[in-house]
Amino acid sequence: MGRTLQPYSNLVDNIYERFKKFRKALRKEDQRSFDMLMNAARSQLQVGVMAAQPNPFDSMSMSMLIELHKELLHLQRRLDALEKRQIVEKSDPADSTEGEEESMRSRRAGDGKDEQLSRKEKRNTEY
């Protein structure tokens, strides 16, 4: 008697094949996110084996996942930058107090660095 269900790894490969044109239409950065998501799906094959048949919610789901993945990467970059800044401040306390004094002087002088930073952060969070 033959198999009644196709192996899950084949289903994942078939889905990838169906999405080749979709992937090609994406921007380069989105193609990287798409590829990372597909690799994540392949790395979790054993989980998918437990499901008899996946419920394809196809392009709508993939689009949502790509957007979520892009936001995750954006937040990771911001977190990494904040952690690096915190490490630098902790490594040399004398420099950080000088930096705070310089920051206060520049705020009084009204050079607008803080305003520029907040505008840049706001722009980066908008899609």
CB 15 within 8 A of CB 45: no
- Cα–Cα distance measured from residue 83 to residue 113, given in angstroms and rounded to the nearest whole number: 20
Q: What is the pLDDT of residues 54-97, one digit of tens each?
A: 554 444 566 667 888 889 999 999 999 999 999 888 886 655 55
- Cα–Cα distance measured from residue 127 to residue 125, given in angstroms and rounded to the nearest whole number: 7
Backbone angles phi, psi at 119, to 5 degrees: -65, -40
Q: What is the pLDDT of residues 11-57, one digit of tens each?
A: 778 888 989 999 999 999 999 988 988 887 777 777 666 655 555 44
Q: Which amino acid belongs to residue 41?
A: A
Q: Which two tokens stand for residue 47?
A: 């989980």
